[in-house]
Amino acid sequence: MAERQNKVKKYRKPLNLNIGMLIFGAIFIYVIICVIMYFQTDHIVRYEVTEGSLATNNIYKGIAIRKEEVVSTDTAGYVNFYAREGERVAKGDTVYIVDETGRLSQELEDASLGENTLSNQELSEFRNEIVNFMHGYDDVTYESTYDFKYSLKNTVLKLANVNMLQSIKNENGGSTANIVNFCYAPTTGIVAYWTDGYEGLTVEGVTEAVFDHKDYEKKQMLGNELMAVGDPVYKLSTDENWSVVIPIDAERGAQIQQEDYVKVRFLKNQYESWGQAKLFTGSDGNTFLSLTFTNSMVTFVSDRFLDIELILNDETGLKIPNSSIVEKEFFLIDEDFVSMDENTGTQGVIRQCYLENGNISSEFVETDAYSYDETEGVYYMDTSVLKAGDVLYKTDSQDTYTVSKRATLIGVYNVNKGYADFKQINILYQNDEYSIVRANTTYGLNVYDYIVLDGSAVSDDQIITNIKKTGTNKDTTVSGDDMAPENSPVPEG
């Protein structure tokens, strides 16, 4: 007997919808819609206006330009310096001597000179050189250590040679004069024992290439070295007037030049002095600023390149981001045609209109002024209220004025009242990110006002809703869901 095979079918339970599932589904759909709307909605970020100034980098590397005269030796031999670097010598003063035979060194070694004591003035020379080096030392420009070493060595040799030669003259009855040649300064100036090829450089001849240190070479002259005829032996800076030239942005340089004289701090020793500012364009097309001084040249006679800081009176005012700044066009209305409504006390104009029967009449149109030009005697009026061709009347007169002239103002959108309200700004100073604008102007901003961070993201009179505060001096995100019609009435705060 064949067994019957039973087929087992899975029982499908009927869909059981309860109120909980319906509520959960509705909430889920609502969340999805909110997320989609969030990403499709323009988001406006507001910025709280605060007082401040711009932190600008006023430190520059400049090149020192002096009137320098290189002196070459006309006698071959061993050169020993007598004038210290940075010392002022008069015409005819002894600067160095030349030992043609080399006998001077032997005479100095054989002389029994005993102990020598340095005077207070001589000790002061060492002290000044050491202090200047300590103030100006930088690990990045460690090569200045060698300049200090050579300068100190020359000072030691100069003091030693003066004392020893005087002793030898006293003991040998002046026989030393027969073995050395005394060399004298051809003119008055400040002595320096180095050359770098820039001695003939002028302020107008500065280009960007002179600031390239890759090929720069500073040749230091050392005492007691053998030199040939025609070798540079020292140089004289013959004029106390000197300049420091710095590369600078043209706009920034023009602002500094307006100061005429600028206070400068030399980072090497924190010395401060006033320099006359002059902006010029080099032969390579780059912009430079020269700062001319009438003193302190001797302090930096050993330096060609100097790090300086410009001490400027940076403008202080209201600090706003540049992204907030926009331009807006306005009609220019003669001040004689702007009046006040005696009943409401509001500002506006009297505009020509036509009645239903075709007769000409007039009406008072309320419109705010966004700026006033005292020189031209005109108000800047909103183009959303007036239109080109409107005829305006003067109060208590039949004189007319046709609306036509336009001009633009720079400003930001204020959102204190919940809508985008244009406010004119007067920029005092600006960098890449922020601007400093004048505070407490008639048609401008005040401290703690809220403005739109991105001015291009809103339009005139746009309603700003759902404002959410996050704290002082922090950006607050709000949504601008609604767009007010172009000629819609402005809501009151």
pLDDT digits (tens, 9 = 90+) for 447-461: 999 999 888 888 887
Predicted local distance difference test score (pLDDT) of residue 276: 94
pTM attached to this predicted model: 0.54
Return d(Cα 136, Cα 62) in angstroms, integer: 15
Predicted local distance difference test score (pLDDT) of residue 203: 94
Return d(Cα 400, Cα 350) in angstroms, integer: 10
- Say which amino acid occupies 57: N
Tokens 């007039």: give the residue.
362
Of 107-121, 310-324, 427-441, least confident by mean pLDDT is: 107-121
- Angle between helical axes of 120-136 and 144-172 (0-180°, round to 10): 170
What distance lies between CA 343 and its chain's CA centroid? 53
Percent of the residues in the chain that have a pLDDT greater than 70, as a whole number:
74
Question: Do 49 and 449 contact (CB within 8 A), yes or no?
Answer: yes
pLDDT-based confidence at residue 478 (cuts at 50, 70, 90): very low
Predicted local distance difference test score (pLDDT) of residue 225: 83
Predicted local distance difference test score (pLDDT) of residue 470: 37
For the chain, the 3-state helix, strand and coil shares in percent, each to the nearest 5, are: 20, 35, 45
Residue 154 pLDDT > 80, yes or no?
no
Residue 251 makes CB contacts below 8 A (sequence gap 6+) with none
Instruction: Give the chain's end-to-end CA distance (angstroms, integer).
Output: 97
Tokens 């609306």: give the residue.
403
Residue 182 pLDDT > 90, yes or no?
no
What does the pLDDT look like over 204-236, one tens digit per residue? 999 999 998 888 888 888 777 889 999 999 999
C-alpha distances (whole Å) from 444 to each of 49, 370, 480 are 12, 9, 23
Q: Where are the beta strands (DSSP E) in 254-356?
A: 261-266, 271-281, 287-293, 305-311, 316-321, 326-334, 338-340, 347-354
Predicted local distance difference test score (pLDDT) of residue 153: 66
Predicted local distance difference test score (pLDDT) of residue 42: 59
Predicted local distance difference test score (pLDDT) of residue 35: 80
What does the pLDDT look like over 10-27, one tens digit per residue? 656 666 667 877 888 888
Predicted local distance difference test score (pLDDT) of residue 156: 66
Mean pLDDT of the chain: 80
pLDDT-based confidence at residue 476 (cuts at 50, 70, 90): very low
- Say which amino acid occupies 44: I
Predicted local distance difference test score (pLDDT) of residue 285: 92
Predicted local distance difference test score (pLDDT) of residue 122: 62
Q: What is the DSSP letter of 463?
A: B
What does the pLDDT look like over 58-73, one tens digit per residue? 889 999 999 999 999 9
What does the pLDDT look like over 35-54, one tens digit per residue? 887 666 656 788 899 887 77
Return d(Cα 27, Cα 17) in angstroms, integer: 16
- Angle between helical axes of 144-172 and 103-110 (0-180°, round to 10): 70
Question: Do 72 and 95 contact (CB within 8 A), yes or no?
Answer: no
